[in-house]
Amino acid sequence: MKKIVPTVAATALLLVSLVPSAFATPDNPDLQIEIEPGIKIVKHKDGRVDPVSNATNLTEGQADKILREMNVQNSDLKDMPLDFKQTLVSRGGVKVEVKSEMTETYRDREGNKHIVTPENKEEIDAIRAKDKKNLKSKQEVATLSMGSASDGIFSATAQLFYLGTTSNGAEYKYDYYTTYNWNGVPNFYFEDSVAQAWQSHTTRVATNGAHNYKPFCNNYNSFQQFPYDPNNDIKLSVGGSQSKFDLYGSGCQQYGALHDEVRIPVGNNGQTGTFVSSYAHPYAGAIVRAILNFVSINWDDFIGDEYNWVNTFTIGSSS
């Protein structure tokens, strides 16, 4: 028994050293978590992490540790640029899981809209191939399968962060994000657009975002960031937001996010919250604008791919 005790103690010490240290007191039930020596965060009982100051000084590994405390999964972290991770950490909160339903639509040269399903995918691909004969194509994009936004070199998703309540306790605070990722060279690279829209009881207080371009694959943190211009790129309505951005025809990866900070009255607690996300990828150089209404996004006519998500969650929930 005397030989076993030191071994157990040593094992316990090793386990403690592998995870951030945390402590709380009866007077202050919030966790004080030491991510690394000199880097501490405050985590509330509902899972929220307080905004971290000087987040731009964090390394990739440090930001990842904090984001995991915010309920961000490794599958989300793997493609995120460091700048975006630092932005999330600087805002704090906790990631809330959303249920999403995706629809992919191909808009052909005749103005027809084809909803893509596993059953008609080959038929739609044949229409695409016919249209592409008259269009400049650099690389085929594997089409997304129904219900999934992670097939091929293009992926996109909606992300939701709960930030707590306003100082008077009257409204919930949320961050809505629609993110997209190109892991390779797009088949067409003109001006793409991303948009999101919300319910009538929801009020926007801020909109921003950025497109990130990684020209070389041999440097993990070699992203160049191009913030959306609030005067030229971003379009707003009472029920939604949109931004356009230049897509590059070379490089290793492109990643971007449209962000809206919103408020929802606490009287809606327990009800289903909804916001919709949309991405437009034209096959030709044309300005594509969206008509934004409550929980509704309708694009101008264009030739190319359109992806739409309906995202739902429980209002007031932090998980």
Closest CA to 117 of 133, 132, 106: 106
Q: What's the pLDDT score for residue 145?
A: 31
Per residue in 122-140, pLDDT (tens digit) is: 999 999 988 888 775 444 4
Q: Domains along the chain?
A: 22-92 (no CATH), 96-314 (2.60.40)
- The stretches of 92-197 forming alpha helices (DSSP H) are 121-132
Per residue in 84-137, pLDDT (tens digit) is: 999 999 999 999 999 998 899 999 999 999 999 999 999 999 999 888 887 754
* Mean pLDDT score across all residues of the chain: 87
Per residue in 185-212, pLDDT (tens digit) is: 988 899 999 999 999 999 999 999 999 9
Cβ-based neighbour number of residue 6 at 10 Å: 9
What is the model's pTM?
A: 0.87
pLDDT along the chain (319 residues), means of 10: 39 37 58 93 96 95 98 94 96 97 93 94 91 64 36 87 98 98 91 97 98 87 92 97 95 96 98 98 90 97 95 95
Q: Assess contact for 280 and 79: CB atoms under 8 A.
A: no
